[in-house]
């Protein structure tokens, strides 16, 4: 690497670190140098309904409003799952999801019983619902039968002052009501100070209100189910993000930075050092009792850390640089990738409607964009099928309306069909000239399915209108602390109006276990000679091209709730024999990179529990 390249890299890396500086600024106030709670002992047992009722009735209580004050150095709690008509809640010594307040250093003996007769439940302290990473608590207790309760005795010790959730980690139970706050004050806090700390929770929306669990754009969906724009991912999606509560506002922050060396082989390849990146801030607050206002800000410093010509990526196409179509390169994303607001209104217990306005934003077309799919979390590269499936995620002007009933959602958009221009720092003119519709279905917490289609006016600036149709299925499952597997299968089609039709297929998957992840992606895309900017006579000749990528990451360390991973990946490409002179027979590439992103997050409140 020469001096000029070194200086350019240093400049781009320094600028690229800015998004993570923002992440750290948000993360540090809620970061605890030690685990907030320690599990001292635990023992599972069966207990009769009569015996449990007697213990529950005899348990001492010291309350302040909806809060329980644990003022002794060794205190006790009796917890059961809610009654039959409100089973997705806790009853702690007779109170529904009360705020628990105790001093640092306090040990608490907890008797937890699952009285539910058809679902397992647990009780976890700390962390970010529904993830159990960094939490302590009970194991998942099976449902109870014949007046005998599945129960567990645990003793936990509070270590670090702060505001932490307690919750059930099973499925979406926390999002549906099995959650509350536990406040740890300083070890010398007076009883009045403890009462005041409980009041901070009340001022932020109540101990059992939505302050802890953000929903998505729709009031009836959990935060974990929201993808990019208004897309759905499985509710079981792991949440690598930070969440905060500031007054009436719930905030979420996430993103990723990939400082790397990228090598792409063959005559059309190249190599460089760069740093793709993105960051997103989401804010929401309740409007009345059934409404919700949501705002999204998504930014990328790709224009500085990558440059206008994009990064080398064999067989990738889409957009232009200096008026020439890009090929074998992925274009940079705009500085402002999303600036949107949405309002949703709950219609019934399982249904809601919403409107979404973005400048820029993402219309109801395609699967969740690749950066928001956990199946592609560790892969720094965009798919080469990006412009067949999810490239409309940056649209300068979009209006979407939709309705969700249970596991179904139907939505439609009116939007600007043009791809972003080459000035990555400005806001392009609004031209609402295209439209789309999407039907989404999440039959379980593990699946997210969608079909969509839309007419896109002049997307590439060449006067050609495109009908884009897509279908996708995402499966995600978590297997305990930071163990998860996610797979996406997708199809996309571009039909140039009165002309040609091109198809694309994608299959990608990632498996994550503590400190490691392994991932892969395979793609098949139909691209013309003209799309690939090949100097051949027949520009409309169609080529079937393929790419296969495999990668591995290893977590190096975590600090201030930010993970730093080291990753390596290799890719091999397949082209028709007629293209061998331009690409070679099987051009390959590799990358060595860092991935810097939020850990499994934790909740924090504005202010300290002192």
Q: Which tokens is 434 given? A: 């295209």
- Residue-wise pLDDT for 79-117, tens only, equals 999 887 888 899 998 899 999 999 999 999 999 999 998
CA Rg value for the chain: 26
Length of the chain: 610
Confidence class of residue 290 from pLDDT cuts 50, 70 and 90? confident
The closest of 371, 342, 352 to 508, measured between CA atoms, is: 371
Task: Return the structure tokens found at 128.
Answer: 């970010």
Tokens for 214? 């953000």
Cα–Cα separations (whole angstroms), residue 190 to 99, 203, 430 = 17, 20, 58
The domain locations on the chain are 31-203, 231-605
Pair 108, 77: CB distance under 8 Å: yes
CATH 2.40.160.10 fits 231-605, yes or no: yes
pLDDT tens for residues 502-535? 999 999 999 998 899 999 999 999 999 999 999 9
Tell me what pLDDT residue 245 has: 65
Please compute the mean of the pLDDT values over residues 470-481 and round it to a whole number. 88
pLDDT tens for 153-184 read 999 999 988 888 899 988 778 877 898 999 99
Same fold, 31-203 and 231-605: no
Q: How far apart are CA 181 and CA 297, in angstroms?
A: 28
CB neighbour list of residue 32: distance below 8 Å, 6 or more residues apart: 159, 160, 162
Q: How confident is the model at residue 436 (pLDDT cuts 50, 70, 90)?
A: very high
Nearest C-alpha neighbor of 595 from the set 258, 275, 111:
258
Q: Helices marked H in 171-287 — which ranges?
A: 191-203
278 contacts 290 by C-beta, under 8 angstroms: no
Q: In b/e form, how buried is each residue of 30-69, taking b as 16+ CB within 10 angstroms?
A: bbbeeebbeeeebeeeebeeeebeeebeeeeeeebebbbb
Mean confidence (pLDDT) of the chain: 88
Max Cα-Cα span within the chain: 89
Average pLDDT over residues 536-561: 93
CA dihedral over 79, 85, 87, 89, signed as positive or negative: negative
CA–CA gap between residue 260 and residue 262 (Å, rounded): 6
Do residues 440 and 231 make contact, with C-beta atoms less than 8 angstroms apart? yes
Q: What pLDDT band is residue 418 in, cutting at 50, 70 and 90?
A: very high
Q: 317-321 — which CB contacts under 8 Å span 24+ positions?
A: 317/384, 317/387, 317/527, 317/531, 317/532, 317/533, 318/386, 318/387, 318/391, 318/419, 318/460, 319/419, 319/420, 319/422, 319/460, 320/422, 320/460, 320/461, 321/422
Cα-flanking dihedrals φ and ψ of residue 80, to 5°?
Answer: -130, 155
Minimum mean pLDDT among 283-287, 499-503, 540-544: which range? 283-287
pLDDT at 285 over 80: yes
Cβ atoms of 182 and 175 within 8 Å: the answer is no
Q: DSSP of 516-540, one letter per residue? A: EEEEEEEEEEEEETTTTT---S-TT
Contact between residue 301 and residue 335 where contact means Cβ atoms under 8 Å apart? yes
CA distance 313 to 351: 43
Report CA torsion sign: 25, 27, 31, 33. negative
CATH class of segment(s) 31-203: mainly beta
């Amino acid at each position: 690497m020469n001096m000029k390249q070194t200086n350019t890299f240093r400049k781009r890396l320094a600028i690229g670190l800015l998004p993570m500086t923002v992440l750290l600024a948000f993360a540090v106030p809620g970061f605890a140098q030690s685990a907030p709670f320690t599990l001292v002992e635990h023992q599972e047992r069966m207990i009769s309904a009569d015996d449990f009722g007697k213990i529950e009735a005899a348990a001492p209580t010291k309350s302040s409003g909806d809060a329980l004050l644990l003022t002794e150095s060794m205190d006790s709690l009796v917890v059961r799952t809610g009654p039959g008509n409100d089973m997705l809640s806790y009853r702690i010594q007779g109170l529904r999801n009360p705020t628990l307040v105790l001093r640092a250093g306090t040990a608490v003996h907890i008797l937890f019983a699952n009285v539910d007769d058809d679902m397992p439940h647990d009780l976890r302290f700390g962390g970010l619902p529904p993830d159990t990473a960094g939490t302590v608590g009970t194991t998942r207790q099976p449902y109870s039968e014949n007046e005998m309760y599945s129960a567990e005795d645990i003793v936990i010790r509070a270590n670090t002052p702060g505001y932490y959730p307690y919750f059930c980690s099973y499925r979406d139970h926390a999002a549906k009501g099995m959650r509350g706050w536990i406040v740890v004050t300083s070890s010398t806090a007076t009883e009045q100070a403890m009462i005041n700390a409980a009041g901070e929770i009340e001022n932020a929306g109540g101990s059992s209100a939505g302050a802890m669990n953000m929903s998505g754009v729709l009031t009836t969906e959990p935060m974990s189910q929201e993808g990019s724009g208004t897309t759905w991912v499985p509710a079981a999606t792991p949440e690598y993000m930070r969440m905060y509560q500031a007054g009436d506002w719930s905030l979420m922050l996430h993103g990723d930075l990939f400082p790397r060396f990228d090598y792409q082989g063959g005559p059309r390849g190249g190599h460089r050092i760069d740093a793709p990146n993105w960051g997103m801030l989401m804010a929401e607050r309740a409007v009345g009792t059934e409404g919700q206002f949501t705002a999204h800000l998504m930014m990328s410093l790709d224009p500085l850390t990558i440059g206008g010509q994009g990064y080398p990526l064999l067989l990738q196409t889409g957009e232009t640089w200096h008026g020439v179509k890009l090929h074998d390169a992925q274009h940079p994303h705009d500085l402002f990738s999303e600036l949107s607001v949405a309002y949703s209104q709950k219609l019934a217990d399982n249904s809601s409607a919403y409107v979404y306005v973005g400048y820029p934003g993402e219309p109801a077309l395609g699967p969740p964009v690749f950066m928001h799919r956990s199946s592609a979390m560790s892969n720094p590269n965009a798919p080469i099928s990006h412009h067949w499936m999810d490239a409309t995620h940056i649209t300068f002007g979009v209006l979407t309306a939709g309705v969700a009933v249970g596991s179904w959602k139907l939505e439609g958009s009116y939007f600007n069909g043009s791809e972003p221009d080459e000035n990555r720092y400005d806001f392009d003119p609004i031209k609402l000239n295209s439209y789309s519709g999407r039907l989404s279905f999440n039959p379980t917490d593990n699946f997210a399915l969608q079909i969509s289609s839309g007419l896109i006016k002049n997307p590439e600036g060449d006067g050609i209108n495109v009908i884009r149709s897509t279908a996708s299925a995402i499966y995600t499952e978590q297997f305990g602390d930071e163990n998860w597997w996610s797979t996406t299968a997708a199809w996309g089609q571009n039909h140039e109006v009165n002309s040609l039709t091109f198809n694309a297929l994608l299959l990608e998957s990632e498996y994550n276990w503590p400190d490691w992840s392994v991932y892969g992606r395979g793609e098949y895309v139909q691209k013309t000679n003209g799309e690939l900017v090949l100097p051949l006579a027949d520009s409309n000749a169609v080529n079937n091209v393929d790419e296969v990528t495999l990668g591995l990451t290893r977590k190096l360390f975590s600090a201030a709730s930010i993970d730093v991973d080291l990753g390596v990946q290799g890719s091999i490409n397949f082209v028709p024999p007629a293209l061998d002179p331009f690409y070679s027979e099987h051009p390959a590439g590799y990358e060595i990179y860092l991935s810097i992103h939020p850990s499994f997050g934790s909740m924090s409140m504005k202010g300290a529990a002192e």
